[in-house]
Amino acid sequence: MDIRRPNGSELEKIIQLSPQALFDGTLGEVRPTNEKIKSLIEPLLEKGSYYLIAIEEGKLMGWILIGESRDQFTDKMNGFIYELFVLEEFRGNGVSKQLLRTAIDELRENGYPEVRLSAFAGNQAIKLYEKLGFNIRTISMSLPL
């Protein structure tokens, strides 16, 4: 498995598949349009965030979108993982773990003191995040009305 930045056609494929990634990541609560995905991702990419992809034998296995985020209380800049997705046929083979480790290493090399991410409660990826040393920092709650 090779992990690297995507080329133009690979980036287009990621953008096409991102609605499914967001749907899965929100446990089926959000079904975004391609236009919504572009409105979320394009500003991140313009500000320096970038994808890393896992690829093997020319097949896209998954990706991670990394960048930076400012702490709302301290104004400190931290590394941030905006999206992690592995195509269903490649799940259970350590792709997520390798993408995360590579992303964490890159964010560390870029000088960030901390890496953060957000996940929906009940997302199975939380177990992986905890195994890699992530701790719960904040809890967001909602009350349906």
Q: Tell me: the pLDDT tens digits for 55-110?
A: 999 999 999 999 999 998 999 999 999 999 999 999 999 999 999 999 999 999 99
Task: Name the one residue in this structure whose structure tokens are 């997520």.
Answer: 96
Predicted local confidence at residue 74, as pLDDT: 93
Query: Structural domain boundaries of the chain?
Result: 2-131
Q: Are strands 115-117 and 77-86 parallel, antiparallel or unpaired?
A: parallel
Indicate the pLDDT class of residue 6, thresholds 50, 70 and 90.
very high
Nearest alpha carbon to residue 41 among 6, 3, 87, 89: 6
Indicate the pLDDT class of residue 24, thresholds 50, 70 and 90.
confident
- Give residues with Cβ within 8 angstroms of 20, minimum separation 6: 85
Per DSSP, the residues of 8-35 read HHHHHHHHHHHHHHHHHHTTTS----HH
Percent of the chain residues topping a pLDDT of 90: 74
HSE (CB half, 13 Å, CA atoms) of 42?
7
Predicted local confidence at residue 140, as pLDDT: 86
User: Mean pLDDT across the stretch 136-143?
Assistant: 88
Indicate the pLDDT class of residue 42, thresholds 50, 70 and 90.
very high
Q: Are strands 77-86 and 2-4 parallel, antiparallel or unpaired?
A: unpaired
**CATH no., domain 2-131:** 3.40.630.30
Indicate the pLDDT class of residue 113, thresholds 50, 70 and 90.
very high
